[in-house]
């Protein structure tokens, strides 16, 4: 692309990493996420954010067909609060994700909970959030989880991912789809009328055998592999741009169709 613009990024508001409310305060949000599906609130939010994504940020998705049915973890890079919406623009599935617990305050807590979002207490080993994530996957859900944890503050990919996604992949056996979101680092520049084009590219799903009690080293190894694939997708978008990545994806699909015809004994398409 094409490197991103050199314009400075708008600053984040000061981050608050600890939530002083007791963990029990969030129990009913977890119960809602574990026992009920997102309702009409999800569809309303999807419609609004899709209009913003397609219309304002001219978003385009590449290879969304790589997201399988059934339980799956989407693993995008994280620059913007809109990244979870960008990642789901071309998917008709309900995307479930964890959000920092500080966001769960009236009136937005009602929107989040009814939309299928659940809280995670950053700065803590939040086992309730992991239990909720495992339940969603056990119910064949589509869970979005960021390898990097919080948003990048400098518009660059993190040096090293968090190991939580590796733990979840090993404990559940869920396939992970790496996702590169390019352009969203500048979404927070909207007050400057700096409205970037956002491109979302999905990679091939990858999975690991179930490990009942994975070690920290095993968890980190999986997280590192997932993040390496995210970085490769992102670097490809930087190098060849949206059009080049879309062209390569079309060529890949055509090659797979030819290979499938060959396996089935059908003549190759001209």
Condensed to tens digits (0 to 9), the pLDDT of residues 82-92 reads: 999 999 999 99
pLDDT score of 164 more than 70: yes
pLDDT score of 24 more than 70: yes
The answer to whether 37 and 94 are in contact (CB under 8 A) is yes
pLDDT at 2: 46
What distance, in Å, lies between the first and last C-alpha atoms of the chain? 32
pTM listed for this prediction: 0.92
Mean pLDDT of 62-79: 98
> What's CA 40's distance to the chain center, in Å?
22
Mean pLDDT of 192-202: 93
Of 14, 13, 24, 26, nearest to 105 by C-alpha is 26
Decide the pairing of beta strands 199-202 and 60-62. Answer: parallel
Confidence band, pLDDT 50/70/90 cuts, at residue 264: confident
Mean pLDDT of 116-130: 92
Mean pLDDT of 169-179: 98
Residue 170 burial class via C-beta count within 10 angstroms: exposed 0-12, middle 13-18, buried 19 and up? buried
Confidence band, pLDDT 50/70/90 cuts, at residue 262: confident
Tokens 């089935």, residue located: 264
pLDDT at 74: 98
pLDDT score of 119 more than 90: yes
What values do phi and psi take at 2, rounded to 5?
A: 130, 75
Give, in degrees to the nearest 5, the angle at Cα 124 between 13 and 24.
100
Confidence band, pLDDT 50/70/90 cuts, at residue 3: very low
User: Could you tell me which CATH number the domain at 23-263 has?
Assistant: 3.40.1130
DSSP secondary structure letter of residue 169: H
pLDDT at 9: 77
Of 4, 68, 77, nearest to 228 by C-alpha is 77
Of 173, 167, 164, nearest to 209 by C-alpha is 173
DSSP secondary structure letter of residue 5: P
Token pair, residue 42, equals 């999800």
Question: Which of 3-12, 120-129, 231-240 has the highest mean predicted lDDT (pLDDT)?
Answer: 231-240
What values do phi and psi take at 255, rounded to 5?
A: -65, -40
> What's CA 166's distance to the chain center, in Å?
14
> What's CA 116's distance to the chain center, in Å?
15
Tokens 């004994």, residue located: 265
What ranges do the domains of the chain cover?
Answer: 23-263
Confidence band, pLDDT 50/70/90 cuts, at residue 54: very high
Give, in degrees to the nearest 5, the angle at Cα 14 between 87 and 190.
50
Compare 43 and 264 and report the one with higher pLDDT. Answer: 43
- The CA radius of gyration of the chain, in Å to the nearest whole number, is 19
In order of 13, 64, 103, 112, 259, the CA distances from 16 in angstroms are 9, 34, 11, 19, 52
């Amino acid at each position: 692309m094409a490197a991103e613009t050199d314009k400075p990024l708008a600053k984040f508001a000061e981050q608050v990493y600890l939530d002083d409310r007791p963990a029990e305060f969030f129990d009913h949000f977890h119960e809602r996420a574990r026992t009920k599906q997102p309702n009409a609130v999800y569809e309303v939010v999807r419609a609004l954010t899709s209009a913003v994504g397609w219309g304002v940020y001219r978003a385009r998705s590449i290879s969304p067909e790589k997201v399988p049915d059934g339980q799956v973890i989407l693993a995008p890079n994280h620059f913007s609060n809109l990244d979870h919406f960008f990642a789901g623009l071309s998917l008709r599935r309900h995307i479930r994700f964890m959000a920092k617990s500080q966001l769960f305050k009236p009136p937005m807590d009602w929107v989040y909970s009814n939309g299928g979002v659940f809280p995670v207490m950053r700065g803590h080993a939040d086992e309730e959030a992991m239990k909720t994530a495992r339940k969603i996957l056990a119910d064949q859900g589509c869970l979005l989880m960021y390898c990097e944890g919080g948003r990048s503050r400098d518009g660059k990919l993190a040096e090293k991912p968090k190991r939580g996604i590796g733990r979840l992949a090993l404990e559940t056996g869920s396939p992970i789809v790496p996702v590169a979101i390019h352009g969203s680092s500048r979404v927070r520049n909207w007050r400057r009328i700096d409205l970037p084009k956002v491109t979302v590219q999905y990679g091939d799903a990858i999975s690991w055998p179930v490990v009942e009690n994975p070690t920290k080293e095993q968890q980190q190894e999986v997280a590192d592999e997932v993040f390496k694939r995210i970085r490769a997708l992102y670097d490809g978008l930087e190098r060849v741009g949206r059009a080049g990545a879309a062209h390569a994806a079309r060529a890949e699909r055509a090659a797979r169709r030819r290979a499938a015809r060959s396996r089935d004994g059908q003549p190759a398409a001209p």
